[in-house]
């Protein structure tokens, strides 16, 4: 099962989590204001497959996770398709502007599963 940590500067992320669950993943939403800055810590604690950070710029939590733990991060994204492309390119941490939508979680997990299946063939 694909473990996805979701951390939003404003304490949201429930819609993305619902999409992760619908795609057969396990969503862990970091609670509280400023949660994006705890993304890397939570990912490290549970050995997550993916991390999604949301803030105004789409970068703070992703950059922090990359700096502290060495996770390959892409940030400043503003669309679902950018996130899908980042998964294809092997990124583990994805930083978006505020975009708490179900489709984002669903498509990212679907793409991650495709990528992993192609590795095992």
pLDDT (tens digit, 0 to 9) for every residue of the chain, 121 residues total? 999 999 999 999 999 999 999 999 999 999 999 999 999 999 999 999 999 999 988 889 999 999 999 999 999 999 999 999 999 999 999 999 999 999 999 999 999 999 999 988 7
Q: What is the dihedral of CA 94, 103, 24, 17, to 10 degrees?
A: 70
Residue located via tokens 């899908």: 84
Q: Do residues 61 and 39 make contact, with C-beta atoms less than 8 angstroms apart?
A: yes
Distance CA 88, CA 33 (A): 30
Residue located via tokens 């930083």: 95
SS3 of the chain: helix, strand, coil, percent, to 5:
50, 20, 30
């Amino acid at each position: 099962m694909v473990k996805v940590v979701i951390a939003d500067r404003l304490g949201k992320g429930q819609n993305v989590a619902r999409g992760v669950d619908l795609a057969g993943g396990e969503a862990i939403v970091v609670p509280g204001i400023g949660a994006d800055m705890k993304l890397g810590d939570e990912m490290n604690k549970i050995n997550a497959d993916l991390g999604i950070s949301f803030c105004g710029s789409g970068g703070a939590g992703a950059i922090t996770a990359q700096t502290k733990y060495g996770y390959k991060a892409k940030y400043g994204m503003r669309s679902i398709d950018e996130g899908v492309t980042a998964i294809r390119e092997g990124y583990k941490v994805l930083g978006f502007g505020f975009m708490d939508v179900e489709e984002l979680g669903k498509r990212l997990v679907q793409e991650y599963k495709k990528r992993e299946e192609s590795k095992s063939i």
